[in-house]
A and B are shown apart, each in its own frame.
Chain A
């Protein structure tokens, strides 16, 4: 009996995800209902524990005043610029260092060490060096993307199949062609992995950097809301950070990862068999 229902849904593949989505939506609705009920039970001042309605009102208010859209744009711009800088520098240095056995061995430990100093720890020093504002945040975000990308690019370059490199070289490929047709494609899954790790840490780093060193953005909204006791605004900011990260993860990072793993993972698996 119980087996009949799943097998029917498996036969029509479009039904299966929609059922999970319906259940997911129910889960989210339950959270909101539980939140509202807990507000009635706890019955504390709104600044201490705002109700969903307060937060919704704050959301509408912030949106109509244009504060929320402009903060989101500020955060997104900082994030995009920082991540792009970190990614570009990370891939370039990863390739440069990784292509030489000498340099990658020499620089490996020092890279590991700087990777371990989390971006959060750099922010105080950056504040002393550069002051509060855009550049400090940009450097912190680039930093947090740079190291995972560099580290994984190095690994990717070093694990490129020697046989493939030799094969391409016997066919008369130049150094550049070896790079573009063997090393870069085989390092790509690693680069994407590093990028995803870095992008995740960078998002958290952004929120933190904006709390300490910015006058706008979602992190500032959350922090400023707390200091002015507008807790509804704090919660709006928190929800927006969750929504934005989920949107970016599902619409951009995961498809990117799937695409590279499908495209290049297979190629590499075949290369390994040779």
Chain B
């Protein structure tokens, strides 16, 4: 079964499926290009594709687009590393003690529920418009999303495993490394991905409201000048960047964990 399934799942990569998948994109592009001639949509509402393309090339050549993208990605990386580096160890520490975990869980789930975006106005009051606010909002969103999944991950470990490890003469440290961390790892990795999804939205949203640069700022700022081609360019880039992040970073992690721990249904 599996031997047969493997070649057939590898084959379509370069086969008609990929080409077929491009057809709808071309259809969307064609409909977009033809829309002004078929209807009365004014150009400021729907600029033709070539105008978006020339906005893309212009902004790439003058270096403004790469610098906006770089600003966003750097900020996301900083918030992501900061949020997770504090959330995962803290989450493990909290979860080690049952009493502490039970005390903290409602608080954490409450803070996780306050949408990251809802912090933006308060962040502006505290840090002013700009880098500080945006970073605070992303790190905050990622921190609470990640710490919550870490704590839940530890709580989901069957208690039998602790007893089994202790029966075999494991020390406290052994229990932490071989039961707690490896038992919660899958949930932590899921949390890493979920927190990125929330963090990405928070980044774009925070840049729109509190930013002074970055891809989100660029997209909303263009609305005020009716530069719709830049708005559409921003949207497309937001989509492509997310796909790239997901494809390059998270799909591989997911594959490794699924294979290692056999989570695939």
Contacts and interface: CB of A to CB of B under 8 A. Distances in A.
A19 B101 CA distance: 12
A124 B220 contact: yes
B122 A238 contact: yes
Interface stretch (A180-188, A203-211, A256-264): A203-211
Find the residue from B103, B104, B109 having the highest chain A CB count within 10 A. Answer: B103
A117 B222 contact: no
A110 interface: yes
Given A19-B102, A226-B125, A231-B122, A117 B24 contact: no
Interface in A106-158: 106-110, 112-114, 116-118, 120-125, 127-129
Contacts of B104: 27
Interface in A229-258: 229, 231, 234-235, 237-239, 241-243, 245-246, 249
B209 A106 contact: no
A43 to B, nearest CB: 15
Contacts of B66: none
A117 B215 CA distance: 13
Contact of A105 (B21, B114, B205): B21
A123 to B, nearest CB: 8
B113 interface: yes
Contacts of B238: 116-118, 121
Interface stretch (B73-81, B84-92, B179-187, B226-234): B226-234
Contacts of A48: 125-126
B117 A124 contact: no
Contacts of A25: 106
B136 to A, nearest CB: 14
A124 B231 contact: yes
Interface stretch (B2-10, B55-63, B170-178, B239-247): B239-247
A212 interface: yes
8 contacts: A25-B106, A27-B104, A27-B106, A28-B110, A118-B204, A124-B219, A211-B209, A241-B115
Contact of B234 (A113, A124, A225): A124
Interface residues on A, range: 35 or more
A212 B223 CA distance: 12
A32 to B, nearest CB: 10
Contacts of B232: 125
Nearest to B244: A116
A183 to B, nearest CB: 17
Contacts of B110: 28, 242-243, 246
Given A234-B122, A241-B113, A242-B113, A128 B44 contact: yes
Given A109-B25, A118-B201, A208-B205, A26 B122 contact: no
B116 A204 contact: yes
Nearest to A247: B113
Nearest to B108: A27
Contacts of A235: 122
Contact of B20 (A26, A105, A121): A105
A125 B115 contact: no
Given A222-B121, A231-B125, A238-B114, A117 B105 contact: no
B236 interface: yes
A237 B204 CA distance: 21
Contacts of B242: 116-118
Contacts of A64: none
B151 to A, nearest CB: 12
Given A23-B103, A235-B122, A117 B236 contact: yes
A106 B234 contact: no
Given A109-B21, A207-B115, A225 B121 contact: yes
Contacts of B122: 222, 226, 231, 234-235, 238
Interface string B139-151: 0000000000000
Given A26-B103, A109-B24, A112-B243, A125 B231 contact: yes
B99 interface: yes
A31 B239 contact: no
A121 B239 CA distance: 9
B244 to A, nearest CB: 9
B231 A20 contact: no
Interface string B203-217: 011001100000010
B198 interface: yes
A222 to B, nearest CB: 5
